[in-house]
């Protein structure tokens, strides 16, 4: 009897079935300009949309469906009819929602200094609890241009990958659904092929970022070589005693590039840290990353985070930086804060070894020589703690 009633109910009110998981690609015309779209539908029905290898949109199920129908290049009227039928809304409502979705995409694509990752209908915790990584932090080298305390990593690897080998890894990442590449180190600008690698990732379709001490960003020609290859976002780990670092910040602010500045908070350095934050805010920096050199500096870390929030700044918490486990979000959320290592992102060492995250020294395979499925199986069983 229960089955019979269920069948009748489903005929009258058909459930909203999830779209099949997969990767879909298309070229859209928005304001008469071609837009490259790469859509990944996850098993839970949510989606990840990459536009022009410039911005990543995390989509809820409804928004993912809108993007799917756009990738399928169906006529607008057919899409609206399908949406109205699936969600049991009027054709007018379906038309309004669909047009609103396209308008938001249009606005994002015409926004300068765009945040590389934007959430449409998903909470931070949901994204970082996903079981399939979306970002790879690629440590191109452990060589540095300046000395950072506690970051002597050069002896961890026997060799650095060649440009061609990194291209193989980037292609494997894309095939695994990894759409965001962050080049880090060490100091990635010590690699002469960094601009070329950015171009390779962009050609594949990936959004790219660089984490640097800024020592070469103050060189206009070099900065432009990165931008011309399509670099989407930049993080400068600021050494506030170095004038060249401040020059790098000013030069980056003058370009169409999304900039984040990282500060490491030391015990007893609160006034100095506050002074640096005030100066950065006055220059026009809106995105900050903070970490404490050790647990003893947590009170200073809290006050620095409060100052940024009070001045309208935004905190970035999940990119690989020194002492990344001592960050404001971890303090705020305690043991419940979103842990994405091995789930939302992975860390690739200069020789191709895959770690769940920076400083989680539990190799899960080598992406140059191993297949992704084998690495992913190991990642699932790694305890981040």
The third-level CATH classification (topology) of the domain covering 126-379 is TIM Barrel (3.20.20)
Contact in structure between 270 and 300 (CB atoms under 8 Å): yes
3-state secondary structure of 165: helix
Mean pLDDT of all residues in the chain? 84
Q: How far is the CA of 164 from the CAs of 160, 231, 261, in angstroms?
A: 12, 19, 31
Q: What is the pLDDT of residues 176-185, one digit of tens each?
A: 988 899 999 9
**What token pair was written down for 151?**
């970051």
Give the integer Cα–Cα distance in Å for 385 and 249: 34
Q: Is the pLDDT of residue 253 over 90?
A: yes
| Radius of gyration, alpha carbons of the chain | 22
The number of angstroms, rounded, from the C-alpha of 355 to the middle of its chain's C-alpha atoms is 17
Tell me: pLDDT of 259 over 90.
yes
Residue pLDDT, tens place only, 315-366: 887 788 877 767 666 666 544 545 677 788 899 999 999 999 888 888 999 9
282-300 pLDDT tens trace = 999 999 999 888 888 889 9
DSSP 267: T
Tell me what percent of the residues of the chain surpass a pLDDT of 70: 84
CA distance 144 to 187: 5
Q: Where exactly does CATH 3.20.20.70 map onto the chain?
A: 126-379
pLDDT tens for residues 154-175? 667 889 999 999 999 999 999 9
CB 204 within 8 A of CB 170: yes
- The whole-number pLDDT of residue 13 equals 44
Residue located via tokens 């790694």 = 382
Those residues whose C-beta lies under 8 Å from the C-beta of residue 97, and which sit 6 or more positions away, are: 62, 66, 83, 89
At 314, which helix (H) or strand (E)?
strand 314-315
- Taking the C-alpha atoms of residue 263 and residue 283, their distance in angstroms, rounded to an integer, is 15
Residues 6 or more apart in contact with residue 209 via CB below 8 angstroms: 116, 180, 181, 182, 183, 231, 232, 233, 234, 235, 319
Helix or strand holding residue 24 (H, E): strand 22-30
The rounded distance, in Å, linking the Cα atoms of 151 and 187 is: 11
Which pTM was predicted?
0.82
What confidence tens digit (pLDDT) does each residue in 194-231 have? Answer: 999 999 999 998 989 999 999 999 999 999 999 999 99
Starting at the earlier edge strand, list the strands of the sheet with 22-30.
22-30, 33-41, 47-51, 55-59, 117-120
Name the maximum alpha-carbon separation found in the chain.
Answer: 78
Neighbour tally for 308: CB within 10 Å: 22
Give the Cα separation of 348 and 169 in Å (integer).
9
Residues 277 and 271: beta-carbon distance below 8 Å: no
Give residue 160's pLDDT. 95
Region 239-244: what's the mean pLDDT? 91
**Contact between 96 and 89 (Cβ < 8 Å):** no
Q: Which of these, 138, 133, 155, lies nearest to 348 by C-alpha position?
A: 138
Give, as one character, the DSSP assignment of residue 319: S
Contact 182, 137 (CB under 8 A): yes
pLDDT at 152: 54
- Helices (H) and strands (E) in the chain — how many of each? 13, 14
For residue range 22-79, list pLDDT tens digits in order: 888 888 877 777 888 888 888 888 888 888 777 888 888 888 888 888 887 777 788 8
**CA-to-CA distance for 320 and 261, rounded, in angstroms?**
13
List, in order, residues 6 or more apart from 255 with CB less than 8 Å away: 223, 227
Q: What is the mean pLDDT of residues 6-11?
A: 42
pLDDT for the residue numbered 361: 85
Between CA 6 and CA 130 the distance in angstroms is 32
Q: What share of the chain is helix, strand, coil (3-state, %, to 5)?
A: 40, 20, 40
């Amino acid at each position: 009897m229960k089955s019979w009633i269920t069948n009748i109910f489903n005929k009258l009110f058909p459930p909203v079935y999830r779209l099949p998981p997969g990767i879909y690609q298309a070229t859209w015309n928005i304001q008469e300009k071609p837009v490259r779209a790469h859509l990944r539908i996850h098993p839970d029905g949510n989606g990840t949309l990459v536009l022009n290898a410039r911005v990543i949109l995390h989509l809820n199920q409804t928004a993912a469906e809108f993007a799917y129908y756009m990738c399928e290049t169906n006529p607008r009227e057919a899409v609206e009819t399908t949406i109205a039928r699936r969600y049991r809304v009027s054709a007018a409502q379906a038309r309004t929602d669909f047009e609103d979705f396209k308008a938001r995409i249009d606005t994002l694509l015409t926004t300068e200094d765009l945040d590389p990752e934007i959430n449409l209908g998903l909470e931070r915790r949901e994204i970082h609890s996903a079981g399939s990584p979306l970002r790879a932090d690629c440590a191109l080298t452990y060589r540095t241009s300046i000395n950072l305390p506690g970051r002597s990593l050069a002896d961890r690897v026997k060799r650095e990958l060649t440009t061609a080998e990194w291209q193989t890894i980037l292609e494997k990442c894309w095939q695994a659904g990894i759409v965001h590449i962050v080049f880090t180190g060490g100091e990635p600008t010590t690699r002469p092929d960094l601009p070329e690698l950015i171009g390779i990732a962009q050609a594949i379709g990936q959004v790219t970022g660089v984490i640097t001490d800024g020592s070469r960003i103050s060189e206009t020609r070099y900065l432009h070589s990165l931008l011309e290859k399509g670099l989407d976002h930049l993080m400068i780990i600021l050494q506030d005693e170095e004038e060249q670092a401040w020059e790098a910040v000013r030069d980056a602010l003058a370009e169409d590039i999304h900039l984040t500045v990282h500060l490491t908070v030391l015990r007893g350095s609160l006034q100095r840290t506050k002074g640096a934050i005030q100066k950065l805010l006055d220059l026009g920096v809106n995105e900050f990353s903070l970490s404490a050199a050790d647990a003893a500096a947590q009170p200073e870390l809290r006050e620095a985070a409060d100052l940024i929030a009070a001045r309208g700044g935004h905190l970035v918490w999940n990119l690989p930086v020194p002492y990344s486990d001592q960050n404001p979000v971890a303090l705020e959320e305690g043991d419940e804060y979103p842990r994405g290592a091995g789930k939302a992102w992975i860390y690739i060492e200069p020789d191709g070894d895959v770690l769940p995250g920076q400083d989680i020294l539990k190799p899960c395979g080598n992406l140059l020589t191993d297949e992704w499925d084998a690495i992913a199986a190991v990642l699932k069983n790694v305890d981040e703690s």
